Structure 1
């Protein structure tokens, strides 16, 4: 997990800030992979809204409750990673987007979609998800699943 506290008082350069969000997005996905509801919730802005193109779920607690089956891995195994991170002009807002893989442990079926998240850097210097949404996943074949796994980069491209 990336500690963003050191940059709270000093504006980061665009590449630094984008890499902070990149690492934070990876950490967010890892919280689900690790089935860690506490870490998941820590990535959320207290007033976050998820599913913003539909009827959104609002607030950290409500989102964490709604996501609990995904966090626990009881309904689907969800994996994602950033492919793009862009810092907004205010230096406190960023957008991240990338592919998401949904694997059904009961049927063995896999689907691939995309997510888009808006991050906000708080006064404490920590980036938290403010808005999140995604594109409905489509059935994925073996080649698409392989491309998903091969596309993951731990290293921020702006670094």
Structure 2
């Protein structure tokens, strides 16, 4: 049969063993587990803080990148505007130069035309003088004067054509 003192002794041993295990084994293990839990929680909090910091830096860099893109667009647009103005300026300058060249050419043509007219007038005057001289040297009638004049003009024209060829 079972003895009561054996059961009580076993219960007391179990109670002492429980208290001893609780004090020497379970307590330190729970304390180590609690420290590890706090360490892990701290690391999670640190990681969350670093993640937040990284997100802020990312947003900051994205803002800087957007600003840089805006600045590059502005610089590009300014360059285009300056290039267009330079192009227009050069075109206007070229048009002015072309106008000056055309005006000079017109003046040169006018001058050459005047020279040619003066030359033709001198030649006509010389022809007329020569015809008058020939008519005066030959004492002839009015009809013969006209025929002498016509033959002289025809001869002068043929000699002028042969001189220019």
TM-score scaled by length of structure 2 = 0.17
Q: Between the two structures, name the one with larger relative contact order (CA 8 Å, sep ≥ 6).
A: 1
TM-score scaled by length of structure 1 = 0.17
Instruction: Determine which structure has the larger strand proportion and give its number.
Output: 1
> Is the radius of gyration larger for structure 1 or structure 2?
2
